[in-house]
């Protein structure tokens, strides 16, 4: 089955800890995206990547980092600098940056 997988489904972070959220796609899409979802605020773009080894900041990149070493993988690290990390994180991909985006099932991050 082709699609986007995100793991884990739930993730717990301790104070001062960095955590990494996984996003993998087997759709052969060039572009990948990370969004944060908070209740009543819709989705906000954190980072996106148009091609391997390239990525750009979105609207709320502070406290986050990404890498794009392989076409199928776009992991997101939530660093200790992100003071309010509790949210639902969604990964998406598209054939190209002007094409329709398809979403993974999401990871819910909670702070202990």
Partner 1 sequence: AQSVTQLDSQVPVFEEAPVELRCNYSSSVSVYLFWYVQYPNQGLQLLLKYLSGSTLVESINGFEAEFNKSQTSFHLRKPSVHISDTAEYFCAVSESAQGGKLIFGQGTELSVKP
* Nearest-approach distance from CB 90 to partner 1, in angstroms: 6
Instruction: Please report where in the chains the tokens 């979802």 appear, as a residue.
Output: 37
Distance in Å, CB of 96 to partner 1, minimum: 8
Q: Which is nearer to partner 1, 10 or 16 (CB)?
A: 10
| Binding-site ranges for partner 1 (CB under 8 A) | 4, 6, 31, 33, 35, 40-45, 48, 50, 58, 90, 92, 94, 96-98, 100-106, 108
Report how far residue 29's alpha carbon sits from residue 22's, in angstroms, rounded to the nearest whole number.
Answer: 16
CA angle 29, 52, 59 (to 5 degrees): 85
- Could you tell me the smallest distance in angstroms from the CB atom of residue 80 to partner 1? 27
What is the token pair recorded at 10? 């739930």
């Amino acid at each position: 089955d082709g699609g986007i997988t995100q793991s884990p489904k739930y993730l717990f972070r301790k104070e001062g800890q960095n955590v990494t959220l996984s996003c993998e796609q087997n759709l052969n899409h060039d572009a990948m995206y990370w969004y944060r979802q908070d209740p009543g605020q819709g989705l906000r773009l954190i980072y996106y990547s148009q091609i391997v080894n390239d990525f750009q900041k979105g609207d709320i990149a502070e406290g986050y980092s990404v890498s794009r070493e392989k076409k199928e993988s776009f992991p997101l690290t939530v660093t200790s600098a992100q003071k309010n990390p509790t949210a639902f994180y969604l990964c998406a991909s598209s054939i190209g940056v002007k094409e329709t985006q398809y979403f993974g099932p999401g990871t819910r991050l909670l702070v202990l």
